[in-house]
Amino acid sequence: MLDFKLDEIEQSGDFYTRNFQPTPEENKLVLNMGPQHPSTHGVLRIILEIDGEYILRAEPVLGYIHRMQEKMAEVKTYPQYLPNMGRVDYLHALAWNWAYAGAVEKLMGLEVPERAEYIRVITCELNRINSHLLWWGAYLLDLGAFTPIMYAFADREIVMDILQRITGSRLTYCYYRFGGVSADIDQKFINDTREFCKYMRGRFPIYKDLVTDNIILRKRVEDIGHINLETCRKYGATGPVLRGSGKPYDVRRAEPYSVYDRFDFEIPVYDEKDALARYLVRMDEMEQSLRIIEQALDSLPEGDYIHPKTPKNPKPPKGEAYFAVEGARGKIGVYLVSDGSKSPYRLKLRSPGFSNLSLFAEIARGTLLADAISILGSLDLVIPEIDR
């Protein structure tokens, strides 16, 4: 005998389940996807209302890995907050490093030596390739292909070894300092990086043969998850999501920071607006990153790797500064308000993943459940970055 009351079931569940407003249609099912689901890459939860295989409504629930990164800045001194940036987005940690260091430098008026800028460009682009490789492997894992992630990890390993020698860490880097970087690069790093660039160029045709041209992948990503520019604008989507919708917006070009204006590189844009377009943007971006790295290595100047007069405990003057960089997922922004003391008064982190995820609710409506997985993967979500 089943002895429970219907009211009790309705009252069970958490706040989100109880407050989820179902659409007034019959024969529907409310389904929780996550917070533990292999395709959500972490602790993202999406409440889905489905009719058969079709999604009527999708609502992302955030906050499972909220760590108060912004509040933490207010109780730490400026240098003490540096390691936090590696933890915000563990896949493209150096871009976050850069955004924070850049904001503080901007407020202090601290000049970064040219060599340090070049080192930053090289390491940041290496990190971008690493991030895209992991996305590539994980996305295909979502779509049911297991082998690619093995190839991706084998290639990632090389980059991680290169970066480990210089930065000391393999994933959550804390390498950039105010006014430069924490350690200089040496000849071995340069040789290894050049070798990697050559090696990686040879890998792209293999990736293309194995995955990009594969009919099974094509059927899963082509004509799926159309995001038009209006939606992008509404939600503030940036990065490959925006470029896959046909807008060539890249912070490295739109508001050039550091020495990016000296390099010759293209911004890959695809007009198809579907998951495949976003996939191709990222694949092309890796090639462009290699181009930037090689150019930066060719013209690497001599000099200091950190500004010799960097104060140990910086106290930026009263005021505010905003610094944006292009991360693997889009525009990373750090807004810093200082009251002249040794810790920030307020620090706002603009994470691209948050905006990119927000549009999922709109574009998932009416798609198949299996396609929703494909769309979610094509947005390249890193949940710790979204929750911060």
Residues binding another protein (CB under 8 A)? 76-77, 79-84, 147, 151, 154, 157, 161, 164-169, 172, 174, 177, 182, 206, 209-211, 213-216, 218, 312-313
In this structure, what are the phi and psi dihedrals at residue 227, rounded to the nearest 5 degrees?
-120, 115
Among all chains, which residue has been given the structure tokens 């933490």? Answer: 72
Residue 8 CB neighbours (<10 A): 8
Helices (H) and strands (E) in the chain, counts: 17, 8
Give 56 or 119: the residue with its C-beta nearer to another protein: 119
β-sheet bridge partners, residue 337: 320, 346
Give 61 or 149: the residue with its C-beta nearer to another protein: 149
Q: Compute the least distance from the CB of residue 224 to another protein, in Å.
A: 17
Burial 196-231 (b: 16+ CB within 10 A, else e): bbeebeeeeeebeeebbeeeebeebbeebbebeeeb
Q: Compute the least distance from the CB of residue 288 to another protein, in Å.
A: 24
Give 189 or 263: the residue with its C-beta nearer to another protein: 189
Give 84 or 351: the residue with its C-beta nearer to another protein: 84
Separation CA 69–CA 84 (nearest Å):
7
Query: Cα separations (Å) of 360 from 60, 62, 222?
Result: 8, 13, 17
Q: Compute the least distance from the CB of residue 388 to another protein, in Å.
A: 17
Separation CA 130–CA 122 (nearest Å):
12
Contact indicator for 104, 314 with CB cutoff of 8 Å: yes
229: three-class secondary structure by DSSP: helix
Give 309 or 312: the residue with its C-beta nearer to another protein: 312
Q: Compute the least distance from the CB of residue 28 to another protein, in Å.
A: 35
Separation CA 364–CA 30 (nearest Å):
15
Q: Compute the least distance from the CB of residue 140 to another protein, in Å.
A: 12
Give 58 or 280: the residue with its C-beta nearer to another protein: 280
Q: Compute the least distance from the CB of residue 216 to another protein, in Å.
A: 8
Separation CA 335–CA 99 (nearest Å):
9
Q: Compute the least distance from the CB of residue 290 to another protein, in Å.
A: 21
How is residue 129 written in tokens?
């390739």
Close Cβ partners of 168 (under 8 Å, ≥ 6 residues apart)? 175, 183
Give 185 or 363: the residue with its C-beta nearer to another protein: 185
Give 276 or 364: the residue with its C-beta nearer to another protein: 276
Q: Compute the least distance from the CB of residue 133 to another protein, in Å.
A: 15
